[in-house]
Chain A
Amino acid sequence: MSSQSCVEVHTEWGIVSARQAGRNKAKEIGFGNVDQARITTAISELARNIYLYAEKGEICIGEVSEMGGAGVKKGLQITAKDVGPGIDNIREVMADGFTTSGGLGAGLPGVKRLMDHFDIESTSGEGTTITAIKWLR
């Protein structure tokens, strides 16, 4: 990855600055309005989950590229990392409507739909790392 910048999340302000960082990066890479909104919303979900369930962690945002059939494609990668309680049953939390906090339970499945690539790694008691990528079309 060429450049990556990280924002610490342990207050609601951290969520706002992570979002801001994501929006700036998305603009810089050349994403349009709708994808900018998707990216910032995805960051908002992941950052809020960190704040709510792990208390603190960080969101890193960077540009990625990949060789494809049609040449090099560019994308934006979000990494959300925390050393919180972790997730026991990943399949459960990825289902629409699953929540332990009285929320809508739409965050994680939503992020998966908002982005092109979604990967979640979590160990109970050790923490959670979620990586998501949006490719520039």
Chain B
Amino acid sequence: MEPSIIDFIYKRKQLLVEKWLEEVESVTQDSAITRIPEDIYSETNREFIDVIVNTLHVSPEEAKERLRSFVERLIHIGWPLSYFTRGLQAFRRVILEEMKENTQAEQAFSTFGEVENWIDGIVNQLVDEYTGSWENTLNLQKLALKELSAPLIPVFSHISVMPLIGTIDTERAKLIMENLLEGIIEHRSQVVLIDITGVPVVDTMVAHHIIQAAEAVRLVGAECILVGIRPEIAQTIVNLGIDLGKFPTKSTLRKGIESGLEVTNKKIVEIE
């Protein structure tokens, strides 16, 4: 950027800070910012201005690095992106106002362009930092979800339960099948209970996957019992015309376990 512009901004830093704080005040009234304590808020405002104004007189790499470490910290505590983007819009408005009053017309045009580019660069970097962090979080959550997704739990010897909770998409359906078959071998299960109490919608795709899973279970020499079919789900399955006739089902997990015990020649007895 033109040294004279840098000089211009730098000389008026104090004034810009004041005006900017006024602007940003009104802009952030409605956002999530209102939950942040007052002192931390104004502290951060000042720091933010320092960071952006300081980008003017260090090397571009250095400027990038400083902005990054500042933003990283704020992302970490959950500071909203809109604070930065709106704040920078306000900042730009303040600078341009100030310049309009103090620059000649022919000069103003190119100056405005330079300021725009400068601010745009900062906005772009901010958005990149934020999306990078969101993608990261998303990937971690996907992984966590996958781990929680379809556990096969051995409850008695030769009897295991797979509780399914939440929406079943293609990826999860694959996981269910894998975990089911691997788990059966690992725990030497003879009976597996698939509990669908926590599955919100059982459509043809979900039903199809369950039927296929049960077939596969049969092929590895075990038996599958479907439990936890809520009354409204039972009715929609019938409406869809899906035939679960060949399929052992029980209304509750408890009844499923009872029949699993029967199949494996076990009994629970009360001791006096």
Contacts and interface: CB of A to CB of B under 8 A. Distances in A.
Interface of A: 12, 16, 19, 33-34, 36-38, 40-41, 44-45, 48, 96, 103-104, 106-107, 109-110, 113-114
Given A16-B167, A110-B240, A104 B207 contact: yes
Given A106-B242, A110-B241, A113-B240, A37 B208 contact: no
A41 B242 contact: no
A45 B169 contact: no
Contacts of A41: 201-203, 236, 239-240
Given A103-B208, A114-B239, A44 B232 contact: no
A96 B203 CA distance: 15
A45 B167 contact: no
Q: Which range contains the number of B residues in contact with the other chain?
A: 20 to 34
Contact of B204 (A12, A36, A45): A45
B201 A40 contact: yes
Interface string B233-258: 10110011110000000000000000
Nearest to A96: B241
B185 interface: no
Interface string B169-183: 110000000000000
Contacts of B169: 12, 16
A104 B242 contact: yes
B231 interface: yes
A83 B239 CA distance: 28
Interface in B36-76: none
Interface in B55-111: none
B6 interface: no
Kindly list the 8 A-B residue pairs having the minimum CB-CB distance in the complex, ordered from nearest.
A110-B240, A37-B232, A44-B203, A34-B232, A12-B169, A106-B204, A41-B236, A113-B239
Nearest to B202: A41
B32 interface: no
A12 B170 contact: yes
Nearest to B205: A48
Contact of A37 (B201, B205, B207, B241): B201
Nearest to B233: A37
A34 B241 contact: no
Contacts of B201: 19, 37, 40-41, 44
Contacts of B170: 12
B236 A45 contact: no
Interface in B177-210: 200-205, 207-208
Nearest to A15: B169
Contacts of B204: 45, 103-104, 106-107, 110
B239 A38 contact: yes
Contacts of A37: 201, 232-233, 235-236
Contacts of B233: 37
